[in-house]
Amino acid sequence: PNNKWVTELKDQFRPYFEQDLTGIINHKKLLKDYDSFFNIAAKPENGRIFKFMAFAVWKKTMGL
């Protein structure tokens, strides 16, 4: 269910990856391939993508 959720909501999460994530995630490369990277509905379940999203939201929410 995580993969379907990530795929359906990927556009709502894009702004969280537009913040500066230097030293953690190459956000410029991620944004370049964003749609293919987060279009995972038909792929095997992988919690790593969900963790990327949770981290980006946490970082922005905490103002770090």
Residues in the chain: 64
Instruction: Write the pLDDT tens digit of every residue in 18-43.
Output: 888 888 888 888 889 988 888 887 88
**Rounded to 5°, angle at Cα 62 from 60 and 64:** 70
| pLDDT at 12 (0 to 100) | 92
Instruction: Write the pLDDT tens digit of every residue in 2-14.
Output: 888 888 888 998 9
Burial of 30 (C-beta count, 10 Å sphere; 0-12/13-18/19+): middle
Taking 80 as the threshold, does the pLDDT of residue 45 lie above it? no
Rounded to whole angstroms, how far apart are CA atoms 8 and 26? 23
